[in-house]
Structure 1
Amino acid sequence: MRVLSSLTLAPLFAIALAAPGAFAAERAYVPVEQRFNAEQLKATGLDTLSAQQLQLLNQLLSQDQTAVVTETVKQVRSERKGLARVEAEPVSGMLKGEFRGWSAGTVLELENGQRWRVIDGTLFVGKPRPAPKVTIRPGMMGSWYLEAEGQVQKAKVARLD
């Protein structure tokens, strides 16, 4: 029976990995006698089951599949609720002090006191500039990107305070 339980998981994994719309249409249970060929039925001893035993086995496996699919759907929907993007407003301000650019690890401080560390990105300006205007915009999955006025490159940043 343990072999059968692991064999019934394959369709469930396919359902779990399918597109969100696929969860709505529950996959139909395929009876054991249609899943295995004659050699496999004999090798597992399923060919010795009576018609009533085979019917009960299919009924139990079908109920188990339905329960697992239902639970998986609940779990996936619950996890996806947490992925909803939080709408955050961009932050604008002036950098404190002279601006020479950034690289990973650089801490940039705004005049309003916010401090941001560069996670990814490099920018070197030829001539230092006094306190440029910057905009820090939200990205996907909680990331933030800093843009300095007059510059094309952006820096992925994380707030320190």
Structure 2
Amino acid sequence: MNRFRALALAVAFTASAAAQAVEFSTLEERMSRAEFTAAGLQNLSPEQLKALNDWLRINGLAPGAPVARGKSGPNDVPEFYPEEEDRQVIESSIAGNLDGWLGKTSFKLENGQVWQQADSSRMTGLGLSSPAVRIRPTLLGNWLMYVDGCGCKPLPVRRIK
């Protein structure tokens, strides 16, 4: 049971960094099979897993976080990082000006990648010219974008190209 509590605390800590969105997704949807197994969640009974997911849902921890991977996910969104070792920090710059985001905003990077906002938060009036960004993977397979010169919290994003 201590492992269950430790996992729940780790999930709570990591998820609190992500902004809230509209829908809840279960751990099975959020994590790859390798992440799910590495966390030992396959050892939980269906009732225990349901209890953990219910706890996450009730406590409002990162609902709507990007869902799990595979060759394609819900809505046929391709998975760009199927292997854990490919989930490295990405450092680039926004191609052009960044005035802010309004929910589901897309960000084209100078390295050619395109990332989309994964929550519904809003930020306006930034007026940044080609700001440097760092995109880092989180424990549960999500991504957070840090924008230099923004002075704002990390933005949950997902890669779309």
Higher helix share: 1
Larger radius of gyration: 1
Q: Output the TM-score relative to the length of structure 1.
A: 0.46
Q: Which has the higher contact order (CA 8 A, sep 6+)?
A: 2
Higher strand share: 1
